[in-house]
Structure 1
């Protein structure tokens, strides 16, 4: 069996708040990387000093360089592959630290699953290390990023194991170098966001496997997606992450799907964008509403990139794109997820969060003190009545019932017709043609019977 070599590629962009712990996690791996290369995309904070202090070889690039372009430049500067050595690329973010056994677990999975060419760890929250973020990812037909997890799902090992998935996040992804180079790396048009789903899709249709390995654990801060740092890549119009995310999601769907479903996808993406934009307008968020519309408009205005991408994917496609259908969530699952999000949003509005100073658990053996500064939150239904609107409505309802209590009257007594004591008497009364009422009557049975 050939030996395995690992090159860790760390992309850095204003990552000083997280970089010290990320570098520490790399140097404490039970199976360390054979080579670590950092790519600094024009950081203006102390990131470059931190990398120099850690003595990590660094490639400096311009500030508007995309994630895929940074990885491609680093791969181009690597030495030629050594014969007899199975080389792997370990893709890393500057805001994702890894458990000390992460790389060892990923490499062990490659032995059991030799067809797996892209592997990823289980991702948990950076501060709340019990918050399950991802165990593999996919893409819904409306462009939404799909993890298959409940909102704020608590990690109790319920998702553990090795799972076949459409793709894994680039935060901690392990990719075979020869497959990466054969497929042309990450799409140059996806400078940030959704490049992981796109590459996983291409790996799948090239006949390979993509798996998620839960024994490998990463803790991801998701700084770019949560707008905790600027989005400076060239394709980020107005530096808005939502616009870039929606545009890239539509691009991935239209570039990789089979031709006969394209008209339906275009309609679904367009009307989905209109519906979401309308919702943002009702929420008084016109910026997000414009992002939804501009994301689709950009693809319509520049169709050449999409056409070129479809031609490029056709060259490396060995099986039909329908092979990934099992990883695309059904409309029922999407609808159920949307309803759950609405219910969660309504509950969050009605029930305020209460801070409790507790220490979250951690699987790491270093830098646990930072989590002491992050309070966890809990909610109780009794706090619903602390909301002024709910409390006022409840008080008015109680006063109204108390004031009008006599208006309800009595529901029994002389005002109602006397009912028979037994069901046989009721049946005889119903069937009888003669009723003893005074001198008698030839009328039909009373309607109330």
Structure 2
């Protein structure tokens, strides 16, 4: 009898119908079962996932990236979980390469493939708000020619030891969007687990194609970016964003409003509003109406 598959993929969707079929097809080609956690999409994301044989957890509301992934991991039973954005396509052989690396590096809590963008550029995260200053390099990071231990890995595609993830409490449930992967990487490192970039594994990432753009979504995204930046800064004892930044974003929002540039107006207004909300003690979950959030049972 062949050994049981050691990996379950967790794919969080939010109006991701355009890109989800390719993502799930690539996972199926590698023999990886998927749990799709749908964040109350208005499109056919959940139906597409069911049609392709994935287990679907249909959230009644959009619970955000980290919280939805926590639901998916809780529903899995395999030793490893593969966190995959819906606009990521795993390349042939990537799963085998990641598992081989996990065997080579038993102290690794998370491993990530080379993430290749549409332009051909390999995406690496050379710095983070949560990095010690000596690790925040200026300029771009050279692409490793082999496996490398890095301070941060992109949340777009991560192979994680499920026991380690659960022992750390998963993604911080207070964060709705942004910095949740940075925060998890920081906690992994602080707990003594290595973060490994695996050169032989590859995934294609169509950045920004998982949801359709709009001015209202731009406002919401920038609100959460500003709020989450303030939240994790406070969590790790870092300097919180300055009032001067709030004033600048407010002024820019007014300026773009006067010239009727709705997209940029929404972006800067969201940045100002998110920072102000954090200073007033408001939470990201309250903004999204998630203080009593639950989720629907899994189905196929």
The two structures have a TM-score, normalised by structure 2, of 0.77
Structure 2 equivalent of residue 8 of structure 1: 9
- Matches of residues 144-293 of structure 1 in structure 2 within 5 Å? 150=140, 158-223=143-208, 228-229=212-213, 240-257=220-237, 262=238, 265-266=239-240, 269-275=242-248, 285-293=264-272
Map 1:405-416; keep pairs closer than 5 Å: none
Q: Secondary structure at the match of 2:273?
A: helix
- Where in structure 2 are the equivalents of 1:375-390 lying within 5 Å? none
Name the CA distance, whole Å, in 2 between partners of 1:177 and 1:252: 23
Residue among 15, 40, 45 paired with 1:42: 40
| CA deviation after TM superposition for structure 1 residue 255, in Å | 0.8
* Structure 1 SS opposite 2:157: coil
Offset from partner CA, 1:179-229 (integer Å, 9 cap, x none): 11111111112122211001101111112111222322222223379x734
User: Which structure 1 segments of 5+ residues have no match?
Assistant: 82-86, 306-449
Paired position in structure 2 for 1:139:
128
Match of 1:295 in 2: 274
The alignment of Structure 1 onto Structure 2 pairs a total of residues equal to: 272
The equivalent position to 2:62 in structure 1, one of 57, 61, 64, is: 64
After superposition, give the CA deviation of every residue in 1:415-439 in whole Å (9 maximum; x if it has no partner): xxxxxxxxxxxxxxxxxxxxxxxxx
* Alpha-carbon spacing, 1:17–1:149, altered in 2? closer, same or farther (3 Å): farther
User: Does the C-alpha gap of structure 1 residues 304 and 105 become closer, same or farther in structure 2, counting only changes over 3 Å?
Assistant: same
- Displacement of 1:137 in angstroms is 5.2
Q: Which residue of 1 aligns with 2:52?
A: 54
Q: Is the 8 A contact 1:135 1:214 kept in 2?
A: no
Q: From the CA coordinates, give the structure whose radius of gyration is larger.
A: 1
Structure 2 stretches lacking a partner, 5+ long: 285-300
The answer (yes or no) to whether the contact 2:153–2:197 under 8 Å persists in 1 is yes
Q: Which has the higher contact order (CA 8 A, sep 6+)?
A: 2
Contact 2:114 2:202 in 1 (8 A): yes
Q: CA deviation at 1:280?
A: 6.1
Distance in 2 of aligned mates of 1:40 and 1:17:
14
Q: Which of 91, 101, 121 is the matching residue for 1:109? A: 101
Determine which structure has the larger helix proportion and give its number: 1
* CA deviation after TM superposition for structure 1 residue 274, in Å: 4.0
Instruction: Provide closer, same or farther for how the CA distance between residues 230 and 278 of structure 1 changes in structure 2, counting only shifts above 3 A.
Output: closer
Cα RMSD, aligned residues only: 3.3
Q: Are the equivalent residues in 2 in contact too, given 1:135–1:212 (CA < 8 A)?
A: no
Match status 1:73 vs 2:71 = yes
Give a deviation string over 1:350-381, Cα, whole Å, max 9, x none: xxxxxxxxxxxxxxxxxxxxxxxxxxxxxxxx
CA-CA distance at 1:51 after TM superposition? 1.5
- Maintained 8 Å contact 1:120/1:211: yes
Tell me how far apart the structure 1 counterparts of residues 108 and 202 of structure 2 sit (CA, whole Å).
Answer: 18
Query: Shift in Å at residue 75 of structure 1?
Result: 2.6
